[in-house]
Amino acid sequence: MNIALLLEMAAEAAPDRIALVCDGKRWTYGDLLDAARGAFELIQESEAEYVALLDESSEAAVIAVFGAALAGVPYCPLNYRLPDADLAALLGRVAPALVVGDEERITRIAGDQEHTIFSREEFTLKAQETVPEPDSREYDPGEGIAIQLFTSGTTAAPKAAILRHSNLLGYILGTVEFGSADEAEAALVVVPPYHIAGISALLSSIYSQRKIVMLPNFSPEGWLELVQTEAVTNAFVVPTMLARIVDAMEKGVAADTASLRAIAYGGGKMPLEVIHKALERFPGAGFTNAYGLTETSSTVALLGPDDHREALASDDPKVRARLTSLGKPIPTVEMQIRGENGEVLGPNEAGEIYVRGDQVSGEYKEKSALDAEGWFPTRDAGYMDEHGYLFLSGRADDVIVRGGENMSPGEIEDVLLTHPAIADACACAIPSVEWGEAVGTAIVVREGHEAPAEDELKALIRSRLRSSRVPEKIKFVEELPYNEMGKLLRRKVKDVLAN
């Protein structure tokens, strides 16, 4: 089965319904399917082995993903924020490709790689002009790879993660009901096209027939304005975006956001303060926290609107703590927490998160990371409580091992963040002659506060956690390094602390 089926069904059921709004231009499901079929012709003609995108979100991303699917070549959106040298290396790994986007830059950095290069406008126009006769073409049956995404490489060089048609369809068919959105529904998509959430947003919106409203460049003002003018009902944001939106509203940026019914967030740790403020600012919206990875075709666990409301209203600290949870695995995914020797752990025991299901690819171009029974080790560390709520404590690679004792950075950071003078904190391993590794922390002091004394912070940790968690090194920094998706770059903090 081919993911193009999702668009074909939407266009079959409602060819004239608005599917996409971008830069003021409106596209129907019928328009998009015609253009995807036109793109198929361009791709066939070019004899490209991949379709790559080096561009911000636009209609071209939708046309390229489905055109590539029809042609049976992987679609590979690239991170345009990468430096030239890194990008040239990634383009080299997909050559020869039909590349859509910044023509000048692609020619300059990869002009000798035998790509077929189109600007966004040219690609979109040609795809619309090249519509074949219906039923005159043999489209790919969809038994292979639909999408190849280079992982962000926060810990190592980018890996080429592979998502098959079957993985993506397993996710969409398992979680979205066809045509379930009413005509008023509109989803604001602000995640870049090279991120799994940016791709799954397109697929699930099209299959549910929820209109996509694209915001290619995020700004809190732009986001709020589009919510009002397009009467947006659904939105997905990463934590840093939500923090900036709430901040802008506090500073007086006004917009009518009454249309918002649902706000989903994910892609990084959401500070409690931000979610509390957001719940106040958007009283009419249900909040959903989604946990997923590139290798799992997006969401594998979620904390839904009812959980959020229950947690907020409860006096029970355990129920309130669910606001920091990732919720429960979705029904079509199995999840286990495993210990160091691969043994399955019980409730409240921390280990590595494993997942299994149709949507879980766990596959890289070089090799599959699945075990013999199809389980994927996420490299995320966490635990499930006795009610099945999943809590994340960080990347398995970030665990600090001090004298044989495993500690997660998250627990130390959570305690530090309770201090009124601390705005942000990162704990990570630093080399220790005595213990192998010890705890180092980088701390950002809140505006208008004095830096707390080191002894005070050490006493705070000692009073709340075991003494082994007390940091040996505390460094005050201006800010912590995050990537554009709001992921904390621990490797960089480690370097800073090591020097």
Partner 1 sequence: MKPGTRLKSAACDTEVMVIRCADGQIECGGSPMGEAKPADAAPLSADFSAGTLMGKRYVDADGKYELLCVKPGKGSLSVDGVALVVKDAKPLPASD
Residues lying near partner 1 in the complex (CB under 8 A): 1, 5, 8-9, 12-13, 141-143, 173, 175-180, 187, 197, 200-201, 204, 208, 210, 234, 236, 262, 264, 266, 286, 288, 290, 292, 298-299, 302, 304-305, 330-331
Q: Based on CB atoms, which residue is closest to partner 1, 96 or 304?
A: 304
Q: Based on CB atoms, which residue is closest to partner 1, 153 or 304?
A: 304
Q: Based on CB atoms, which residue is closest to partner 1, 141 or 431?
A: 141
Q: Based on CB atoms, which residue is closest to partner 1, 215 or 396?
A: 215
Q: Based on CB atoms, which residue is closest to partner 1, 14 or 421?
A: 14
Distances (CA, A) of 499 to 430, 475, 482, 495: 10, 11, 19, 7
Q: Based on CB atoms, which residue is closest to partner 1, 208 or 361?
A: 208
- To the nearest whole angstrom, how small is the minimum distance from the Cβ of residue 207 to partner 1? 8
- To the nearest whole angstrom, how small is the minimum distance from the Cβ of residue 298 to partner 1? 6
- To the nearest whole angstrom, how small is the minimum distance from the Cβ of residue 211 to partner 1? 13
- To the nearest whole angstrom, how small is the minimum distance from the Cβ of residue 3 to partner 1? 12
Q: Based on CB atoms, which residue is closest to partner 1, 265 or 354?
A: 265
- To the nearest whole angstrom, how small is the minimum distance from the Cβ of residue 306 to partner 1? 9
Q: Based on CB atoms, which residue is closest to partner 1, 187 or 335?
A: 187
> How far apart are the C-alpha atoms of 425 and 387, rounded to whole Å?
29
Buried b / exposed e over 265-281, threshold 16 CB at 10 Å, is bbbeebbeebbebbbeb
Q: Based on CB atoms, which residue is closest to partner 1, 200 or 408?
A: 200
- To the nearest whole angstrom, how small is the minimum distance from the Cβ of residue 179 to partner 1? 5
- Neighbour-count burial of 150, counting CB atoms closer than 10 A to its CB (0-12 exposed, 13-18 middle, 19+ buried): buried
- To the nearest whole angstrom, how small is the minimum distance from the Cβ of residue 20 to partner 1? 16
Q: In this structure, what token pair is assigned to residue 103?
A: 């023509």
- To the nearest whole angstrom, how small is the minimum distance from the Cβ of residue 182 to partner 1? 13
> How far apart are the C-alpha atoms of 497 and 198, rounded to whole Å?
34
Q: Based on CB atoms, which residue is closest to partner 1, 12 or 129?
A: 12
Q: Based on CB atoms, which residue is closest to partner 1, 195 or 402?
A: 195
- To the nearest whole angstrom, how small is the minimum distance from the Cβ of residue 40 to partner 1? 18
- To the nearest whole angstrom, how small is the minimum distance from the Cβ of residue 154 to partner 1? 21
- To the nearest whole angstrom, how small is the minimum distance from the Cβ of residue 164 to partner 1? 12
